[in-house]
Amino acid sequence: MRKLRFNWRDIIAAPRLALGLQRMWIQLIGLSVGYIFYVALSYLALVLAGYDLKLSWSQFGLLPCLFTMGDSYPWFSWLLSGLGSFLLLLAYLVTNTAVSRAVYMAMKGNAFYSWKQAFRFSLHKFFSIVLTPLALLILIGLLVLGALVVGLLGKIPVIGEIGVSFFTVIWVLGSLLILFLLLVTIVAITLVPSIIATTDEDAFEAIFQAFSVAWTQPWRFLFYEGIVALLAFLALGVLAFFIKESVVIMNALLSAFMGADFANLANNGQALLQGWTLPAQSVIESVYRNFSEFLFFSRQFVIIPFGDLPASVVLSSYFYALALLFVGGWVISYGISTFTAGTTISFLVLRYRKDEENLLERQDLEEESGESDDVEVAVAGEDEAQQKEE
C-alpha cells in the first residue's frame, strides 16, 4: 500500500501513477467510444442543416464543433450536437471513474486489478455517476423555476412590485444559493469519478462529499486541482515531445533505407493527419505557446497528388496517418489519465484532512466479494487435494 503524507506533495506522483498501459488503455478506449458518437452526431447535425459533408470535413476533420462556426442552425441540429456533447461527457465521467478505480487499486498494492474489472466497476456505478451532477442541476433548475414564478407574480400591478421588493433580501439569498450550487456542481463533476472509485458508494455519498469539500475545503481543493492541471499539462507536453522526436527519427531511418517511397507515404500520411486535426493546431499553439513546435507539426505538409504515386504508397499513407492518430490518442490519454490520477490523490488527501480517514486502509464491497471468492477457490483446492491423497 502506498504511504501518503496527506498534503500537496502526494499529488506530484500523479504522472507516474498514470504512466501505465492499463490506465492509458482504459482512458483511450472509453473516450474513443464517446468521441465516435460525438463526431457522428455533429456531422449529422451539419448535414441536416444543409451543409455539404465533404466541405465540412475539409474544414473540421475529426474536430467538428457547431459553436465555432457562428451560424444559425435549426433546432434539431442543436439537439443532435447537444446530445453528442452529452454522450461525450458521460463517456468522460464513466471512463475517469474506471481510471480512478485502477489508480486507487494500484495505490493499495493490487497489481492484478485488470482494465476489465475497472470498466465493470464503473458501469456498475453508472447511475450514481450520472445522478450526482444531474441531481444538483435539477435542484438549480427548481430554484430558477421558483424565480420565474416570483417574476410572474411581480407583474401584478402595485401589489406585485411592492411584494417582490419587500422580500429583496430573500431573493438575494436565493441567488447566492444558486451560485453556491453551481460551484458545488463543478466540484461534483470534477470529483465524482474519484469519490465513487475510492468509496464504492452511491450518488448520495458523492453529493454529500461534493458539498463537504466545497464548504470545508474550498481553497485546498482549488490549490490541489491547480497542481493537478499543471501536472497534466506538463505530462502531456513531455510525452508529446518524445513521441514527435521518435517519429522524426523513424522517418529519417526508414527513408534512408526505403528511399522515396517511404518519404512520399510519410509526407502524405502526415498531411492527411494534419488535415484531420487542423483545428487542434490553434488550440495547442494557444496553450503551449512557443513550445508548440516541439509537440505538433512545425510546418505545413503539402500532399503529393495521389495520381503521381503507386497505389501501394497511397494506401500506405492512410495506414501511416491512422497509426499516428492512434499514437496521438495515447498521448492525449496520458494527459487525461494524469489529471484523473491527480484528482484521485487529491480527494484521498481531502478526505483525510476533513474526516481523518485513510481510504487506502478501507476494504470496500468489491474487494470483500473478491476476497471471499478467493477463499472459496482456495478451500475447494484444499478439499480436492485431500481427496486425491485419500
| pLDDT one digit per residue (tens) for the chain, 390 residues | 788 888 999 999 999 999 989 999 999 999 999 999 999 999 999 899 888 888 888 888 898 888 776 667 788 888 999 999 999 999 999 999 999 999 999 999 888 889 999 999 999 999 999 999 999 999 999 999 998 988 888 888 878 788 888 888 988 999 999 999 999 999 999 999 999 999 988 899 999 999 999 999 999 999 999 999 999 999 999 999 999 999 999 999 998 888 888 999 999 999 999 888 888 888 888 888 878 888 887 778 888 888 888 888 889 999 999 999 999 999 999 999 999 999 999 999 999 999 989 999 888 777 777 643 443 334 344 444 444 444
In a domain, 265, yes or no: no
**Structural domain that includes position 68:** 8-217
Q: Residue 338 domain-assigned?
A: no
Which residues lie closer than 8 Å to 203 by C-beta, 6 or more apart?
127, 128, 129, 131, 132, 135
Contact 94, 129 (CB under 8 A): yes
The DSSP symbol for 158 reads: T
Element at 12 (helix H, strand E): none
* Residues 6 or more apart in contact with residue 335 via CB below 8 angstroms: 232, 233, 235, 236, 239
Cα separation, 175 vs 161, whole angstroms: 19
229 occurs within a structural domain: no
With respect to residue 21, please indicate whether it lies within any of the assigned structural domains: yes
Residue 80 in domain: yes
In a domain, 185, yes or no: yes
Helix (H, G, I), strand (E, B) or coil at 69: coil
- At residue 302, the 3 state secondary structure works out as coil
Q: What is the DSSP letter of 299?
A: S
Location of C-alpha cell 434539431: 76
Q: What is the pTM of this model?
A: 0.88
User: What is the count of structural domains for the chain?
Assistant: 1
For helices 311-355 and 203-216, what crossing angle results, to 10°? 70
- Is 29 inside any structural domain? yes
Domain annotation covers residue 222: no
DSSP structural state of residue 19? -
**Cα gap 379→195, rounded to integer Å:** 35
Cell numbers placing 264: 512520399
In three-state secondary structure terms, 179 is helix
